[in-house]
Structure formats: structure tokens, C-alpha cells
A and B are shown apart, each in its own frame.
Chain A
Amino acid sequence: MKSTEDVNRVMDAYADMVRRICFVHLKNRHDTEDVFQNVYMKYLLYEGSFASSEHEKAWFVRVTINACTDWLRALSRKKWVPLEVLSEERAVLNEPSNEVLETVLKLPEKYRDVIYLFYYEEYSAVEIAKILGKKENTVYTWLSRAKDILREKLGGEWS
């Protein structure tokens, strides 16, 4: 079990990133908070060690994406979702500068991940492939298709 010091450290280091990945996948604050806690709970119980801070960060990225996917899968098995929480998390989109973000969020889930990791976290396609456990060519294809969609919707420079 990880120490309190370790937990505090990774909370400072990765909380925003975990929150953003949750935002990219999830639609309401309640889900985000649950997945956020789940991710840190997994860290608390993780018995392994990390070779470097990059390794640690990549672990958080992978675990958060998986936690979101699992959450959505579990959610899809539910018969109903309260209406009021459906778009709660996306209230941030009301800001005028968020046309880009809104477009990103409308991308298919797999494209959202690569776009976020590539543009925001500045991972290379090779690194993304490792984190997601996909072939490099797959990541290149997803990036290319995601850029095509963004270019089509937003115009401008999306290289």
C-alpha cells in the first residue's frame, strides 16, 4: 500500500490530468468524482513500483482511461440515467473559447484519447501506442482521422 506522502505527491502531480481525462470521457461531475477516486484508490493499492516519473504518469493515463471505459461500460448496462446529470459536466463548454473542446468531445472515444494525449500531454504516437497498448500504425491512423474531422469541423491548421 502506498504511503500518505506518495498519495499526496501524485495528487499534486496528476490530479488535473486525471480530471481532464475523465472530462474527455465522462458526462457528469458525479461520475468524474467516482472515477477520480477509483484511480487514486488503484494507486493506493498498487504494489508495483515505477521506474521513473514518466512511467508513473503513463500508469495514471492508462489506469484513468481504463477506469473511464469500465465506468461507461457499467453505466451502459444501467436502464436509466437521471436527466439532470447528463450534461452537467459539460457546463464548461458554455465558455466562448470552447468550440474546439466541444468538437474534440464529439469525436469518437478512441480519437478523443489520442488527440488529448498527443496535443495536450504532448506524447508522441509511439508513446501513445505503448500507453494504450495499441500498434503504432493504429495510433497514427486514429490521429490522422481525428485531425481530418477537426479540420473539417474547425478548419485551420490541424497538422
Chain B
Amino acid sequence: MSSAQNKIQKSMENIRATEEMKQNTLQYLETQRAKQGRGIFQWKPYTALRYVMAVICIFLLAGTGGYAVYSRPVSYISIDVNPSIELAINCFDRVVSAKGYNEDGQDILEHVSLKNISYQQAIDRLLQDAYYSRFLNQDSLLVVTVISGHSDAMLEQINANDSFQALGALTYSSDAACMDEAHQHEMSFGKYRAFLELAQYDTSITVEDCHSMTMGEIQDRIRTCQGHSGSKAVEKHSTQHANEHSGSHGHR
């Protein structure tokens, strides 16, 4: 041992933990141990609760976000005969809302649930429904109008429906501006598109007139104005006109 080491050790050898210091510390530690022991029963459930809350928050956020995405419509389908019904379609091609634009339309929606199913299923369910079928007769005309970023694909899907084809229905695409205008007149955009088409030929026609007309009557007027003749039943069975897919929305 060097003399320096010896000096340092000698200078510090009297510095020791006193018995009082040790006992106080041991007593303090035992108190803390008891607190911690009790704390286990308090702390663990709270920790678990925190995790549960965190998971719930994540689910809520994901759920809210997911619901926001699910419930946001990206496409719209107007189904008009006399009853006018509009379906709002989300990005998963599911119907997120359905609205009747006249008394018959509202009446049907009270009898047929169209929400949270695909739009193909919704149209099929509607066409198969006995209550709705009352409006589908030889004199009536079913017109389906679509507003969508992929309206061609949607119309293709709709036209693939056998019942739809059998009815000789017409299909059109339209746009959001037409829908906004239609809604200002409390009219479905499908019917409003037909009104705009008729208004091209008959300037005397008004939206109010069209409110009380069926799609068959509007279509008959259009045909008449276009110089077509013959009954609508003949037109309906003409493959040339049936399931017509108009690329233009007819909106002015």
C-alpha cells in the first residue's frame, strides 16, 4: 500500500454509516415496501385500466374513422318509376342511405330496407318486392340514373340484373350539379334529368308539372316531342331503346 493510499484510507476510516442511519433507512424501506405492496393492488388494476382505456380509444378512433369512411357516400343512384328513390352508395358499394322523393317513394322505403347492402342487392330487393312491383306494369317505365366516378361500371352491374333487363328499364348517368338542382326542387335527380331532357323539346314544361308525372309519362312526352310515335309498351320492348345508357347527363 502506498503512503498516499494509506493517508487517504486513514483520513476516511472514521466516516461510517451510523447505526441510527442504517436503522432509519431500514425502517423507511420497510414502510415503503408495505406501501408498494398495497400499491400492487391499486397500481395493477389502474395500469390494466389504462391499457383498456388506450385500447378502447384506439377502437373508438378506428371505429369513428372507419364509420366516417363507411358512411361517406361516393356514388348515388336514383330509381324512378312513379316512386322516386335515391340511394347513397359508399366506397364499398354499400347503400348508406335511402330517401324517397315523393309519397310513394317514402312509402316503399318504410316497407323495404335497402340500407347496408350492396346497391345491386338493393335494386334486386326493390324489384322483387311485392309492394314495389305494384308500380311496375306495362305502362310504367323504370329509369335508373347514376352519379359516380365509376358510373359505367355501376351501370354495367345494374344492367346485368335479369329482373332489371326484363323490365326494359332505362339507365343514365348524371352529375352532382344536376343532383343539387334536383334537390332544390325536392325531386330525385333521375326524374330531374328526365325533366331537363324533356325541357329541351318542350319549353312550356315546368318542374312542378313533372312532379305529378310518372317517368313513363315524361318519357312518352320526350318521345312525342322527338317525333316518335307508337305506344310506350312498344318502345319498352324495343331492344334499341331499352337499357339505354346515356353517357351525357342531360343536365344543362
Interface residues of A (CB under 8 A from B): 1, 4, 7-8, 11, 15-16, 18-20, 23, 32-33, 36-37, 40-41, 44-45, 92, 95, 97-98, 100-101, 104, 115-116, 119-120, 122, 147, 150, 154, 156-159
Which residues of chain A have C-beta atoms less than 8 A from B25's C-beta? Answer: 11, 15, 33, 36-37, 40
B14 interfacial contact with A, CB 8 Å: yes
Q: Are B16 and A19 in contact (CB under 8 A)?
A: yes
Which residues of chain B have C-beta atoms less than 8 A from A16's C-beta? Answer: 15-17
**Shortest Cβ gap from B106 to chain A (Å):** 68
**Shortest Cβ gap from A25 to chain B (Å):** 12
B33 interfacial contact with A, CB 8 Å: yes
Which residues of chain A have C-beta atoms less than 8 A from B7's C-beta? Answer: 100, 154, 156
Give 17 CB contacts A-B under 8 Å: A8-B26, A15-B22, A19-B16, A19-B17, A36-B17, A36-B21, A36-B25, A40-B25, A44-B33, A97-B10, A100-B7, A100-B10, A100-B11, A104-B8, A120-B9, A150-B4, A154-B7
B36 interfacial contact with A, CB 8 Å: yes
**Shortest Cβ gap from B118 to chain A (Å):** 55
B42 interfacial contact with A, CB 8 Å: no
**Shortest Cβ gap from B16 to chain A (Å):** 5
Q: Select which of A18, A100, A119, A147 is within 8 A of B17 by beta carbon.
A: A18
Q: Select which of A20, A104, A119, A156 is within 8 A of B5 by beta carbon.
A: A119
Bound: A32/B16 CA distance, A: 12
B29 interfacial contact with A, CB 8 Å: yes
Bound: A23/B8 CA distance, A: 14
With an 8 Å Cβ cutoff, the count of chain B residues facing the other chain is 25
**Shortest Cβ gap from A79 to chain B (Å):** 28
B131 interfacial contact with A, CB 8 Å: no
Known A100-B8, A120-B9, A150-B4; 11 more pairs at CB < 8 Å: A4-B33, A8-B26, A11-B25, A19-B16, A36-B17, A41-B29, A44-B29, A44-B33, A97-B11, A119-B4, A156-B3
Which residues of chain B have C-beta atoms less than 8 A from A98's C-beta? Answer: 11
Which residues of chain B have C-beta atoms less than 8 A from A11's C-beta? Answer: 22, 25-26
Which residues of chain B have C-beta atoms less than 8 A from A32's C-beta? Answer: 21
- Most A CB contacts (10 A, CB to CB) among B4, B5, B14 go to B4
Bound: A115/B2 CA distance, A: 13
**Shortest Cβ gap from A22 to chain B (Å):** 9
B212 interfacial contact with A, CB 8 Å: no
Q: Are A23 and B4 in contact (CB under 8 A)?
A: no
B32 interfacial contact with A, CB 8 Å: yes
Query: What are the nearest 5 A-B pairs in CB distance?
Result: A15-B17, A101-B11, A119-B8, A19-B17, A100-B11
Q: Are A20 and B12 in contact (CB under 8 A)?
A: yes
Contacts A41-B32, A44-B33; A101 near B12 (Cβ below 8 A): yes
Which residues of chain A have C-beta atoms less than 8 A from B28's C-beta? Answer: 37, 40-41
Bound: A116/B13 CA distance, A: 12
**Shortest Cβ gap from A101 to chain B (Å):** 4
Which residues of chain A have C-beta atoms less than 8 A from B30's C-beta? Answer: 4
B161 interfacial contact with A, CB 8 Å: no
Bound: A18/B33 CA distance, A: 21
Which residues of chain B have C-beta atoms less than 8 A from A147's C-beta? Answer: 4
B229 interfacial contact with A, CB 8 Å: no
**Shortest Cβ gap from A90 to chain B (Å):** 11
Considering the complex, give the chain B residue whose CB is closest to the CB of A44. B29
**Shortest Cβ gap from B6 to chain A (Å):** 9
